[in-house]
Amino acid sequence: VEGAPRPGPPAGEGLRVSALTLASEELLRALGAWERLAAPSPFRAMRVWDAVGGGAIAFEAEEVGEHALGHIVENADLVHALWARLEALETVDLLPGASLDGLSREGGQWRLRLADGRQLHARLLVGADGARSRVRHLARIPLAERPYGHAALVAPVTTGLPHRATAWQRFLPTGPLAFLPLADGRCSIVWSTKEQEARRLLGLEEGAFRRELGEAFGHALGEVTAVGRRACFPLAMRHAERYVDEGLALVGDAAHTIHPLAGQGVNLGLLDAAALAEAVLEARAAGRDFAARRVLRRYERARRGHNQLMLAAMDAFRLLFAPATGPLPWLRSRGLELVDGASPLKGWIARFACGRAGELPALVRPGGAAALGLAAPCP
């Protein structure tokens, strides 16, 4: 059940993009969706530096034995690829342009009432309907919510120097500024700053915006020579009090939203989906009721703590790089330099960031689909 109409082919605008980890790539390959992506852009290096203290850290894919640290993918491209894969499955019914109007629990099933009057019944209902989840609201699952007081300004840009398949991030006193490499040579920027400042930047004419953007980035890629359409959206931390009820599970932004400074939002959602799929598949294989709360609680235990840790880590990073006087700017810059020189710790951070470390669902590990008895791509 999808509120939006069927997506058309992506326009290649480069406005809204995601940095997919290698774990997310594994999942999409297992689903048979990866090869349907039009233009995933690998980044093989990452450069992060502090605009105030000058400290920096760099990561290289070859240092951790990988072909890339991740891929930049346009959101519209990812949605289109997944939709095309779903259309190829005879066991899936797609209802685009349909919205959920009512929800009730009857006889061990959920009854869904759509806005056009249609009714559906399901033993297991998955709320994957975004930050303003209608499923979460109708299921009366409480939500902790705290605005960050920041907004993210996004736009595709052309720079005077090539991006060199590198993801760049500069921590400014007002928030992080990222330049993410696109396959066509451009970059997609994510500029997180105070909401009032983001609105001011959004309203600038192109020449003035290019100049301010180049200065904010320290001209690390030369002059900004062109800017595409700009957009801005507010940022907030959200976390559902619980992820599951009897016959119901929340995944992705319906369960949690996070600051984009580490680019982990969509990856956390895909990890949720993989962990839920694993719990359901193993319950079915063992002859158990896959919609039972005790089965779904396994998914919740696997994911809620990890997501809470990431939410806390992003809060800590925001505070660490907030405007400060005294020794803090010097200390955080020295900290970046120390980590950059500490190979074991730096390597673990790189492996964790690209989805090769920590407790991971089987479907996002190499060979995980086969381990669960699935062909690749998933039938």
- pLDDT tens string 323-342: 555 566 767 778 778 888 87
Residues 325, 331, 332, 334: what is their CA dihedral angle, to the nearest 10 degrees?
A: 140
pLDDT the model gives residue 75 = 93
Split at pLDDT 50, 70, 90, the class of 100 is very high
Split at pLDDT 50, 70, 90, the class of 377 is low
pLDDT the model gives residue 52 = 82
Q: Are 258 and 310 in contact (CB under 8 A)?
A: yes
Q: In a 3-state reduction of DSSP, which class is residue 149?
A: strand
Q: In a 3-state reduction of DSSP, which class is residue 52?
A: coil
Least confident of 64-78, 204-218, 258-272, 283-297: 258-272
Q: Look up residue 362 and give its DSSP letter.
A: G
Average pLDDT over residues 246-256: 97
Whether residue 160 is predicted with pLDDT greater than 90 in this model: the reply is yes
Average pLDDT over residues 144-154: 92
Split at pLDDT 50, 70, 90, the class of 355 is confident
pLDDT the model gives residue 250 = 98
Least confident of 59-73, 262-276, 323-337, 349-363: 323-337
Whether residue 181 is predicted with pLDDT greater than 60 in this model: the reply is yes
Question: Both ends of the chain: CA-CA distance in Å?
Answer: 21
Nearest to 126 by CA among 5, 255, 228, 318: 255
- Gap between the Cα atoms of 81 and 78, Å rounded: 5
Split at pLDDT 50, 70, 90, the class of 321 is low
Split at pLDDT 50, 70, 90, the class of 233 is very high
pLDDT the model gives residue 54 = 85
Whether residue 101 is predicted with pLDDT greater than 90 in this model: the reply is yes
Other residues' Cβ atoms within 10 Å of the Cβ of residue 47: 16
User: Up-side HSE of residue 195: CA atoms within 13 Å toward CB?
Assistant: 8
Split at pLDDT 50, 70, 90, the class of 208 is very high
- Gap between the Cα atoms of 122 and 246, Å rounded: 12
pLDDT the model gives residue 83 = 94
Split at pLDDT 50, 70, 90, the class of 352 is confident
Q: What is the pTM of this model?
A: 0.92
- Gap between the Cα atoms of 320 and 298, Å rounded: 34
Least confident of 87-101, 188-202, 309-323: 309-323
Q: Are 171 and 319 in contact (CB under 8 A)?
A: no
Split at pLDDT 50, 70, 90, the class of 289 is very high
pLDDT the model gives residue 328 = 67
Average pLDDT over residues 354-378: 74
Q: What percent of the chain has pLDDT over 90?
A: 70
On average, the pLDDT of the chain sits at 90
Helices within 263-292 (DSSP H only): 265-285
Whether residue 320 is predicted with pLDDT greater than 80 in this model: the reply is no
pLDDT the model gives residue 327 = 67
- Gap between the Cα atoms of 185 and 39, Å rounded: 12
372, with CB counted inside 10 A (0-12, 13-18, 19+), is: middle
